[in-house]
Amino acid sequence: AQTVTQSQPEMSVQEAETVTLSCTYDTSESDYYLFWYKQPPSRQMILVIRQEAYKQQNATENRFSVNFQKAAKSFSLKISDSQLGDAAMYFCAYRRTDSSYKLIFGSGTRLLVRP
Amino acid sequence: GAVVSQHPSRVICKSGTSVKIECRSLDFQATTMFWYRQFPKQSLMLMATSNEGSKATYEQGVEKDKFLINHASLTLSTLTVTSAHPEDSSFYICSAPSSMLYGYTFGSGTRLTVV
């Protein structure tokens, strides 16, 4: 069975600095999708970034980028120029490419941003 | 973009009563809807997967007689918590695959409190 592990329950970053959130996963599949979701205090889940496993190039969305290491089964999220609005829970998630569509979430990392 | 409207956002009910939570896909057809439960400061736990026109698939340990799921149309899925008890108090979130590339669209969640 696939699993997703986030080993950092909480991280703290100074505003305008850079922070990296870690995520590892376990799967026997060769193709799959990986996601980072943000859950602010409103609890609305917001997609931050996604990565297709067949793509070697790391995904980037403005201040958010990932370091995808397929062999190591690692998928970390880097947030540059951190802003107060980045404070939230961040969940790493995995999905197979087949029709099951089920998202498997990690336990989450709470990001605190210090002004 | 794709929107899933979830109602109610908050509900308080008495122990022993039933509560229905609705999730509607507003601008796309949701053939599949995932229902999650989230305890405070924890991750999302998949409870069940509903597919339009067929019986829901429940995750191991989820009581199908307590959490009734109906997916009567391509735009509406409902979760009914029957004979609710205080331990059913939680945050419930629905989610539908709206795009292969962009993951899923999540409802805004329902905070259920059973008194």
pLDDT in tens, A25-59: 999 999 999 999 999 999 999 999 999 999 989 99
Average pLDDT over chain B reads 92
CA nearest neighbour of B98 among B3, B34, B22: B3
CB contact under 8 A, B102 and A103: no
* CB-nearest partner of B104 from A43, A44, A103: A103
- B103 vs A contacts (CB less than 8 Å): 33, 35, 37, 47, 50, 93, 95, 103
Strand extents, DSSP E, chain B:
4-7, 10-13, 19-25, 32-38, 44-51, 57-58, 67-73, 76-81, 90-97, 104-106, 110-114
Residues of chain B with pLDDT under 70: 100-102
For chain A, the average pLDDT equals: 94
Give the model's pLDDT for residue A52: 92
As a whole number of angstroms, the distance between CA A85 and CA B10 comes to: 24
CB contacts of B109 in chain A (<8 Å) are 43-44
What is the rounded distance in angstroms from the CA atom of residue B91 to the CA atom of residue B10? 9
Q: Radius of gyration over alpha carbons of chain B, in Å? A: 13
**Chain B residues close to A108, C-beta within 8 Å:** 42-43
Question: What local confidence, expressed as pLDDT, does residue B41 receive?
Answer: 85
